[in-house]
Chains A and B, each alone.
Chain A
Amino acid sequence: MANYYDLDDIIAEEERVSVVFRKAVNGVGIDASAETDCVEIDSKVELPFWLAHELYLRKVVKLKVPTCFNQKTRLELGADAACVDLRSRCPYFYEFGCKIARLFNSCEPETRVEGRDLGSFLLSAFENRYKEVLAKAHSAAFAAASKCFTLLTKEETTMYEAAQSSMAAFKKWRMGGPRFQKASILGRKRKPTD
């Protein structure tokens, strides 16, 4: 369980998930297509993850695999992971993926097939992109980097910035003079007292 006050965790849980209701629900305005304040059995609704998660645990809804983890994205990531624009698909790709992957293990058969290997898929996607992100952060100039920078998810952006600042610190250490400098006041010659 992440920190209760963690902003990124809160925003990651706002990602949408398509669900199918297994129970009828009364008195809520979550189904935009319904005219009354009811949700009927088998209606498809998009819910934020925080709500879908709790309802799923209580067996009120069936989960579907979100579009950002569908077959198309998987194929693209398999072809060339570093070039896929993950930010526009889901800025919290990994965090959201980790949250939802846990749920798929206990899902209905048809969703389980699709969501079964989500964990290992996330890992391989991260590994493949990690190398590229790090290499670019270490070598590229700011202007050239800005293009690939827009493809990164939130977590990768943090990583990219960390890599860049550590590279800058390394360069400073290698080029810079002595780490400890003599306090200038000690360098002054003392006037003879007598």
Chain B
Amino acid sequence: MYGRKACQLVKELTTGEKGQLMPFNSDLFDQVIAECGQHYFEIQSLTRKMEEEGLDIETTKNEDHYGSLIHHLSLVRNKRCLMAYLYNRAEILRNLTWKVGPVLPQEIQEKLSHLEEDYFKKHSASLKSYMSKLDLDLAVDMVPPKDPYIQVRVLDDIGDGIVLSDDKTANFAPHSMHFLKRTDAEQFISRGLMEELTG
């Protein structure tokens, strides 16, 4: 049946957990596009057939007309499914910019298509330039902190020589513990490279 693959593609988006990204299904995506090409080809050949029979394409309502109508409707439907697939993924990506920051972890990066990677980079770049114009970091935690300093443990290799806001460098070796300014630690925590120690 026409449009079934496109619907599968859309269903795939709803099966995952909300706000989670599935790998970009370029295989199915390409198949739907090929199906669109097939519909277009059928419309053309039906129209050509009507022309050869000397019929007026705009007014004739014969079986060929309804055939090309069905192909046209299927084409429009496939388009809607493809657009919705891309649009909803782009929405998740935009949300990720706020939650994770400008650098995506490897496991999410792998799920994107090349175009989406590009989109993500450009989107975070324009957000960054907006925030620097405002001179305000809009991505910080909405809940006011109780203490400007927090205790953190480094989970992953971050590397040394990272300059903090008070112009000191720190050596974030794995499993080392630090007492940092909250604003310095936040970006590392959101990327999963550090964890906050409580209690």
Interface residues of A (CB under 8 A from B): 4-8, 10-11, 14, 23-30, 38, 47-48, 50-51, 54-55, 58, 60, 181, 183-185
Q: Which residues of A contact B122 (CB under 8 A)?
A: none
- Render B94-110 as a binary contact track against A, CB cut-off 8 A, 1 for contact: 00000000000000000
Most-contacted residue by chain B among A10, A25, A51, A58 (CB, 10 A): A10
Closest beta carbon of chain A to B186's beta carbon, Å: 18
What is the predominant secondary structure among interface residues of chain B facing chain A? helix
Query: Is there contact, CB below 8 Å, between B73 and A11?
Result: no
Q: Which residues of A contact B69 (CB under 8 A)?
A: 54-55, 58, 60
Instruction: Check A184/B42 contact, CB under 8 A, given A4-B80, A10-B7, A23-B63.
Output: no
Interface positions, chain B 81-101, Cβ under 8 Å from A, are 81, 83-84, 87-88
A7 and B147 form a contact (CB under 8 A)? no
Question: B147 — nearest CB in chain A belongs to which residue?
Answer: A185
How many A-B contacts if CB must be within 8 Å?
A: 90
The 5 closest A-B pairs by CB, nearest first: A27-B67, A26-B63, A24-B63, A26-B67, A25-B66
Min CB–CB distance A183 → chain B (angstroms): 5
Cβ contacts under 8 Å, A184 to chain B: 146-147
Choose from B13, B64, B84, B148 the contact partner of A27 (Cβ within 8 Å).
Answer: B64
Cβ contacts under 8 Å, A11 to chain B = 7, 10-11, 14
Q: Is the CB of A27 within 8 A of B3?
A: no
Within 8 A of A (CB), among B17-70: 42, 45-46, 61-64, 66-70
Please, could you name 12 A-B residue pairs with CB atoms under 8 Å apart, sorted by A?
Answer: A10-B7, A10-B84, A11-B14, A23-B63, A24-B66, A28-B71, A50-B73, A51-B73, A51-B77, A58-B69, A185-B147, A185-B148
CB of B64 within 8 A of CB of A7, answer no
A10 to B85, CA, bound (A): 11
Interface contact A183-B146, CB-CB below 8 Å: yes
